[in-house]
Amino acid sequence: RKEVEQDPGPFNVPEGATVAFNCTYSNSASQSFFWYRQDCRKEPKLLMSVYSSGNEDGRFTAQLNRASQYISLLIRDSKLSDSATYLCVVPYNTDKLIFGTGTRLQVFP
């Protein structure tokens, strides 16, 4: 089993839609989790961190299910500017980040 697994997509959704991505991880000892956003041919940038059951920031909600070892990212009221690849990240330790393959989102008008 891969350390971090994501559905690669792409997810094609209309503006205003709600979309959710899931990510599963194998290390049950992991305590913190992150979602990064990566625009085409750009570097990854931190979107949200999740330390307990969940985190909400505007239209974005990240949830953690430790029993099932998965993290989800929910985007409400999708905007064209949300089109990007969303990377699920589980730190192996303080510095080594384990990335999923990313889920590509395309929002269309």
Partner 1 sequence: DAGVTQSPTHLIKTRGQQVTLRCSPKSGHDTVSWYQQALGQGPQFIFQYYEEEERQRGNFPDRFSGHQFPNYSSELNVNALLLGDSALYLCASRPPGGSPYEQYFGPGTRLTVT
Contact (CB, 8 A) for 23 and 2: no
**61 three-state secondary structure:** strand
In the numeric block, which tokens belong to residue 93? 């330790």
Nearer to partner 1, 93 or 109 (CB): 93
What's the closest the beta carbon of residue 44 comes to partner 1, in angstroms?
5
What's the closest the beta carbon of residue 67 comes to partner 1, in angstroms?
23
- What is the rounded CA–CA span in Å between residue 85 and residue 52? 24
* Residues binding partner 1 (CB under 8 A): 4, 8, 32, 34, 41-46, 49, 87, 91-102
Nearer to partner 1, 17 or 55 (CB): 55
